[in-house]
Amino acid sequence: MENEVRVRVAPSPTGDPHVGTAYIALFNYVFKKQYNGKMILRIEDTDQTRSKASSEELIYQSLRWLGLNWDEGPDIGGSSGPYRQSERKEIYVEYVNKLLESGRAYRCFCTQERLTKMREEQKAKGRSGYDRCCRELTAEQISQNLDRGIPYVVRLKVPLDGVTTFHDELRGDISIDNSTIDDQVLLKSDGFPTYHLANVVDDHLMKITHVIRAEEWISSTPKHVILYDSFGWKTPKWIHMPLLRNQDKSKISKRKNPVSLVYYKRAGYLPEAMLNFLALMGWNPGGDIEIFGMDEMIRKFNFSDLNLGGPVFDIKKLAWMNQHYLQQMNEIEFVNYIREDIFSEDYLKKVAPLMKDRVSKFEDFISKADFFFNGSLNYEKEALIPKNVNATDLKKAFLSLLEQLDELYVWTSENIESILHSQLERLGWKPKDYFMPVRIAVTGRKDSPPLAQTMEVVGREMVRFRIRDAVTRFLS
């Protein structure tokens, strides 16, 4: 259909699904609902070193959990068809060839060595970006290089002067001098496109009418506009949403807040509360109204009423809101939630092997296995910090453990175990001075089932939350 509103959510599957993705997806979803349009989910996995299948799966699950269903895109558990960028390599090459033919892009044969040296020279001259050394290569030089099989990237030929202007629907016209824009790489030497190329080609081919994305992409937009122009394509409308922020107003980060949707689901936040909270980060239906549902938002939302000030992601507020939604549940819903989400059969099957031999009668189960179900845990500072270790060193060890657990590709007890052991070896502490504080932070107890297995079952996000919680409560 001509004129159909088509929006997209385009996450990169490089970690746990982020609250920021849900926030952007929510506004896209509301907008497409208002116009009876379509929302496309596109997996932007062109950075092959950072993209993970497990992360992709969690994105699907989290968006479904929130009810932010997409109209086109991967089937849950099935193939992702034309909506996964890593499966569209030929398309990007085809389009980059068009730019090479029309002279709007060029091959750059510079080696890594040359680029490093060039960067230093540019820096000394107070400049940044590529020095455009390959921009004026003759046809003969290019074919010689190609004959010799010299690897190359393809760069965008950014106009040397003039200004690029685009209209942001929330901010008005934004202009940037072309002289400040780098000759962006479009195609890498391994044949993979960069974000800029794949994003623009796909938005065009997928007939996206409105790009609703985070503010952090504003600086990329002029490059995208130049790309559209180079292809001779019409640009979509641009809407850049304000960034979610930590309490100190910095961009929301996992060092300061849990940012994973997996964590919020696991911690027992309700999807309605999460959506209401995320909506309130940019908008409300008027006056002091804070509690409102999706239907009301779809009826009343307008981008012109959006608040552009950096919204602070305040977990206390989210908890307050969650309580409101929880109180709205009837008893049957409440019981079902506990049964399906807290004591789900799947989860209990994982807990059982670790607890079966540790209880003599069932009345002990809840008190001995509490850490499998709780969020923040109750224990004393004295229990956390061993006599031979000082708080600063323990804090450093915990922070580095947090990073490593975050990067752990496959969350299994074997892999967790090997991280713990290699960290212990690096620290050179007595095993008990290391394992005990980790155990206390993760379980709140001196006696728990085997640590790594327990961590596997508790889950990455809750484990990371508790270690961070130990740091903020007792080690900072």
The footprint of ligand GLU (CB under 6 A) covers 10-12, 44, 199, 213, 217
Q: What is the DSSP letter of 252?
A: P
Q: Output the smallest distance, CB 194 to ligand GLU, in A.
A: 11
**Is 254 known to be catalytic?**
yes
Taking the least distance from each CB to ligand GLU, the nearer of 194 and 448 is: 194
CB 47, min distance to ligand GLU, A: 9
Which is the catalytic residue, given 254, 265, 350, 430? 254
Beta-bridged to residue 213, according to DSSP, are 240
Measured from the CB atom, the residue of 62 and 322 that comes closer to ligand GLU is: 62
Task: Tell me 129's DSSP state.
Answer: S
Number of helices followed by number of strands (H, E) in the chain: 20, 9
Residue 238 contacts residue 176 (beta carbons within 8 Å): no
Nearest-approach distance from CB 95 to ligand GLU, in angstroms: 17
- Residue 384: CB partners within 8 Å, gap ≥ 6? 394, 437, 440, 441, 470, 474, 475
Cβ proximity to ligand GLU: between 59 and 462 the closer is 59
Would you say 345 or 407 has its CB closer to ligand GLU? 407
Q: Residue 59 belongs to what H/E stretch?
A: helix 53-65
| Rounded CA separation 279/24 (Å) | 10
Q: Which is nearer to ligand GLU, 199 or 448 (CB)?
A: 199
Minimal distance in Å, beta carbon 46 to ligand GLU? Answer: 9
In the complex, least distance from residue 7 CB atom to ligand GLU, rounded to whole angstroms: 10
Distance separating alpha carbons of residues 464 and 442, to the nearest angstrom: 9
Cβ atoms 254, 403 nearer than 8 A: no
DSSP letters of 123-159?
HHTT--S---TTTT--HHHHHHHHHTT---EEEE---
Phi/psi of residue 136, each to 5°? -110, 25
Alpha carbons 58 and 53: distance in angstroms, whole number: 9
Q: How far apart are alpha carbons 189 and 109 in whole angstroms?
A: 9
To ligand GLU, the closest distance from the beta carbon of 223 in angstroms equals 11
Q: Residue 303 or 365: which CB sits closer to ligand GLU?
A: 303
Catalytic residue list: 254
